[in-house]
Structure 1
Amino acid sequence: MNDSVDPREAALRRLPTSYSLALRLREAGVEPELMCEYLRIEPEALAPLLDIAEAKLACALRPDGSAEAAWELE
């Protein structure tokens, strides 16, 4: 069994659950209304949540390890 995980998946696993789930749901093509139900948020909050999730993921993918502080603001 191959235990290697690609860097993006490893970064997603390190994110807080709400951010990781939001990105995974969007990637899976889940409709925004259903995403809001899963995430227990108002529709107006979805776009900002995804923006923050993408920023945190980008930080988590940095090779210099500067990502640790990126998700301390939950």
Structure 2
Amino acid sequence: MTGHMSPRERALRTLSAPYSLGLRLREAGVAPEVICDYLDVELDNLDAFYRLADAKLAAAESRIAVPKSAKTPLSDRTNR
């Protein structure tokens, strides 16, 4: 089933539920106050929450973007 998903969707699915939900709600245009209620996060902390969620998503996307076959084993890299 993952073959039909975008890399972003696959990356979102690797995140823990609060980060994935928070990013999806923000993207859908849900009001920050409502998002805070869903996530049990104070409004003053929502920006920090999103910085962390965005960083986790970027890391997940970069892992997905590199096919496993393109990764070179460490032994191959050190013998060149």
Q: What TM bracket, shorter-length normalisation?
A: 0.7 to 0.9
User: What is the TM-score normalised by the length of structure 1?
Assistant: 0.79
Q: How does 1:1-74 map to 2 (within 5 A)?
A: 4-62=4-62, 63-64=65-66
User: What is the TM-score normalised by the length of structure 2?
Assistant: 0.73
* CA distance in structure 2 between the aligned counterparts of 1:19 and 1:54, rounded to whole angstroms: 8
* CA distance in structure 2 between the aligned counterparts of 1:4 and 1:32, rounded to whole angstroms: 31
AA in 2 matched with 1:8: R
* CA distance in structure 2 between the aligned counterparts of 1:28 and 1:20, rounded to whole angstroms: 12
* CA distance in structure 2 between the aligned counterparts of 1:38 and 1:29, rounded to whole angstroms: 14
Consecutive aligned runs of 4 or more in structure 1 exceeding 4 Å deviation: none
How far residue 64 of structure 1 moved from its aligned partner, in angstroms, is 4.1
How far residue 44 of structure 1 moved from its aligned partner, in angstroms, is 1.1
The residue matched to 1:29 in structure 2 has which SS?
coil
User: C-alpha root-mean-square deviation of aligned residues, in Å?
Assistant: 1.8
The residue matched to 2:29 in structure 1 has which SS?
coil
Aligned-pair identity in percent equals 49
